[in-house]
Every structure is written in C-alpha cells, then in structure tokens.
Amino acid sequence: MGLAMGGDGINAFVWAFCGTVVAGLLLLAYMRFESAWFRLAYASLPPTGGLSASAMEGERIPGVRGAPDAIRLRVGGARTPKGRKAGHIRVLHISDVHVGQLGVGMGRINGAIRRADPDMIAFTGDYIEKAEECGRFIRFMGMVGFGGPIFLCMGNHDHKAFHGQARRRRSASAASAASAASAAPARPGAPAIPAGLGAILDGACEAACGDGGCEGMRGFAEGIARAKPNAAVLTNGTETLHYDVRSGGWAEGPGEGVCAVSVTGFDDLRAGKMDAAKGLASRDMGADVRLAMAHNPDAVLGLPEKAFDYILSGHFHAGQIWTPFHLEYRMLRRERLSKMNVRKGLFGFPAGLLYISAGIGCVKVPLRFLARPEISVLDVPLPEADPARLNLRP
C-alpha cells in the first residue's frame, strides 16, 4: 500500500484547495457587499375601501394551523416614480435597523429619503441588540434628514437588549454578593455594584434598567424623542394626523379637503409586549386611512377583520442569508407566517393589507446573501375624491 501521493495528485489537491479558498472569499465579499447595497422598493398600495381580503385578486396562500389564508398581491414597479401620485400619501418604511450591524451608511439612507420625498417615515422595530447600542441609535435618529412625522414601534431585539442587561446586572450583583460573603472581613469602603440600576453606556441614553427592562426601554424611547422631536414611539397606541389633499401636505387639523390618517403602533408580539386590545381601543375609527405598525408580521393574526387598512412590519430580514429549501426560515423562525411562505412583500389578510419589509440591517452576523436590504416607499391611497366624504366644495 503506497502512502505517498503522486505529483499529479498533489497538484490537484493544491488547486482544489486554492479554488475553494478563493470561491469562499469571493462569496464572503459578495455577502458583505450585499449588506450595503440596499434597494429602494416601491409599492403603490391598492385601495382597501369596501374590499375584503377574500375578494382581492392574487395568488392564494393557504394558512397553517388555524391561521387564515393570505393572498400574495403584486405591487407596483421596482423603481420609485419621479413624480408623486395625486390623492396618495407617501410612507417611507424602514425596518430592522440593527444599528450595531448596519452596513448601509447614513449618507445613503438620507439620499434615499431625499429621493423618495415622503410625507412620513415608519420605523418598525429592531434598532439595537445590546443596551449599550441605544446611544448609537439615538444619534442615528438625530441624523435622519427628515422634518416630517416619524413613528416608531419596538421589536423583539429592542426588548431583549434591555432584558439582557437586567439579567447581566442581576448576575453581577449576585456574584458581587457571593464574593463579598466569602471574603472575610469585608473591606470597609469597597465600591458596591449597584443592584439592577445604573446608567446605560454611551452617554446619550441615561436610563435606569429595572427587573423587566421596562425602565431602560422607557429611557430609550425618551432619548429618541429628545434627539428627534418630530419622532414618536408608539406603544400600543395611536396618533392621528391630518392631510390636506389639495395642497398635498400635512394640515394643522380637520377641515375642508382634509383627510384624517391614523397610525397605530403595536409593541412587540414575541417579547410578549403586544397589547392588541389596548392598541385596538386606541384606534381612531373616524380616520379616513388607518395604518398600523407591528414589528412581527404574526401580529396580523391576532387582529380582527378589517382592523386596519394597512399594516407595516419587518422582522424576517427576507431570510438575511439565503439557504436552499428555505432552511433559514425552517431552522431559525418560529412564526406561523414564515411557515406559510408569507415572508416579504404585500399580502391580503382579513385584518388588512400587510406589507413585510426585508429590513435594512443585519442580525447576529453583518452579512446578507440574496436578501438585499430594503427601504420601502409605499404610496397609500387616500379615500377617493368623494366631495361629500372629504367635505370638498364642488
């Protein structure tokens, strides 16, 4: 039995090894590149007035385990049209920023905002992964080049960040207490580790983190509002704005030719913070257009029929790193909609039309593969120019 490899065998092995390394490096470079190469996804949403999801045309997707069927709807062209559509408000939808692993620069984000020229911006959760990143996200918000209304709802990673911090502080306190008990006698004047309280790092976000992480979350929301006074974090609550159809801009209040647009933000479902009853009770039933924001798309399954006209969400990252047979969803996602192949784009549900963004940032690893980051431009139709409904003079 010969152990020595022939010259040809060694050459083949070296070539195969080098080829594999080069292919791996190219793949990694492409994945890194794709994290930064975001697309401006444009969707002209269909009107919902008088339409039930079952009456909409599109590819029907059967539900799973009690979930209602969904209808996959085709939306407008991939490019944002140059002009603005009359009788529509334009919503810029940004989801899953994950500021610690965001490959897209602020200049490109602000460039997209300038090009899209929206009426409002909706951020649908997952801004940070660690409490220490909250100052960074607050600075990010301060740099967002938009003076109109901005609404935010929280995602599972935002909650996890503060819960994680509370846990770390508790274990640090326990370790401190244990070591203090074993060290006899205790050194007088030794610094004590604060139990469950402390300033969140990074200077910009000073918040106390209580047992459930709620105090830290509240401080985070207040920090965002301080950095961006035109931004509001909605926690199972609603705000109503008024839009002047004729001038094509926000109005101070109701009046002739003015549409009421309500925005309801639900807290995160997976973190156990979504209070559907509270959010639904806060709705402005007199609004001409009712928008909702919920980080986790599964939130739509807990809402009653025709609860909202449009529901914006994210969470799935379009898989982030594509794998064959959708393994990234099968292995990493527990959501019912992901099992129904309802993962990105526009879908009709009994509760309303659901738009799922591919998100802009990355979770766990700063890479995307065949899942380009996306900033979505959604043209939302206002009620048809019904003079009586809009109180317009003929």
Confirm if 158 and 189 have CB atoms less than 8 A apart: no
Question: Of 200 and 362, which has the nearer Cβ to Fe ion?
Answer: 362
Q: What angle do helix axes 214-227 and 156-182 make, rounded to 10 degrees?
A: 130
* Binding region for Fe ion (CB under 5 A) out of 88-96, 132-140, 161-169, 370-378: 88-96
Closest approach, Cβ 157 to Fe ion, in A, equals 6
Closest approach, Cβ 386 to Fe ion, in A, equals 40
Using CB under 5 A, which residues numbered 129 to 148 contact Fe ion? none
Question: Of 125 and 149, which has the nearer Cβ to Fe ion?
Answer: 125
Closest approach, Cβ 375 to Fe ion, in A, equals 15
* Binding region for Fe ion (CB under 5 A) out of 18-26, 93-101, 221-229, 370-378: 93-101
Question: Of 318 and 351, which has the nearer Cβ to Fe ion?
Answer: 318
Closest approach, Cβ 124 to Fe ion, in A, equals 9
- Measured CA to CA, the distance from residue 220 to residue 82 in angstroms comes to 36
Q: Mask of contacts with Fe ion, 95-114, x by CB under 5 A?
A: -x------------------
Maximal CA-CA distance, the chain: 98
Closest approach, Cβ 293 to Fe ion, in A, equals 14
Question: Of 116 and 358, which has the nearer Cβ to Fe ion?
Answer: 358
Confirm if 154 and 273 have CB atoms less than 8 A apart: yes
**CA 320 from chain center: how many Å?**
14
Closest approach, Cβ 156 to Fe ion, in A, equals 8
Question: Of 161 and 241, which has the nearer Cβ to Fe ion?
Answer: 161
What's the DSSP call for residue 212? T
Confirm if 265 and 234 have CB atoms less than 8 A apart: yes
Closest approach, Cβ 219 to Fe ion, in A, equals 21
* Binding region for Fe ion (CB under 5 A) out of 90-98, 243-251, 253-261, 342-350: 90-98
Name the nearest CA neighbour of 373 among 130, 144, 41, 82: 41
Query: How many binding residues for Fe ion (CB under 5 A)?
Result: 2
Tokens 């009994």 locate to: 350
**CA 231 from chain center: how many Å?**
15
Question: Of 126 and 133, which has the nearer Cβ to Fe ion?
Answer: 126
Among 35, 88, 116, 126, binds Fe ion (CB under 5 A): 126
Pairing of the two strands 237-244 and 39-44: unpaired
Question: Of 149 and 359, which has the nearer Cβ to Fe ion?
Answer: 359
Long-range CB pairs of 198-204 (<8 Å, 24+ gap) are 198/169, 200/131, 200/132, 200/134, 200/135, 200/165, 201/131, 201/132, 201/135, 202/132, 202/133, 202/134, 202/135, 202/136, 203/135, 204/134, 204/135, 204/138, 204/139
- Measured CA to CA, the distance from residue 21 to residue 340 in angstroms comes to 37
* Binding region for Fe ion (CB under 5 A) out of 89-97, 169-177, 236-244, 262-270: 89-97
Cβ atoms within 10 Å of 30's Cβ, excluding its own: 14
Confirm if 150 and 127 have CB atoms less than 8 A apart: no
Question: Of 348 and 373, which has the nearer Cβ to Fe ion?
Answer: 373
Is 281 in a helix, a strand, or coil? helix
Closest approach, Cβ 360 to Fe ion, in A, equals 10
Using CB under 5 A, which residues numbered 325 to 364 contact Fe ion? none
Closest approach, Cβ 117 to Fe ion, in A, equals 27
Question: Of 235 and 320, which has the nearer Cβ to Fe ion?
Answer: 320
Using CB under 5 A, which residues numbered 39 to 78 contact Fe ion? none
| 288: contact with Fe ion by CB under 5 A | no
Binding site for Fe ion (CB under 5 A): 96, 126
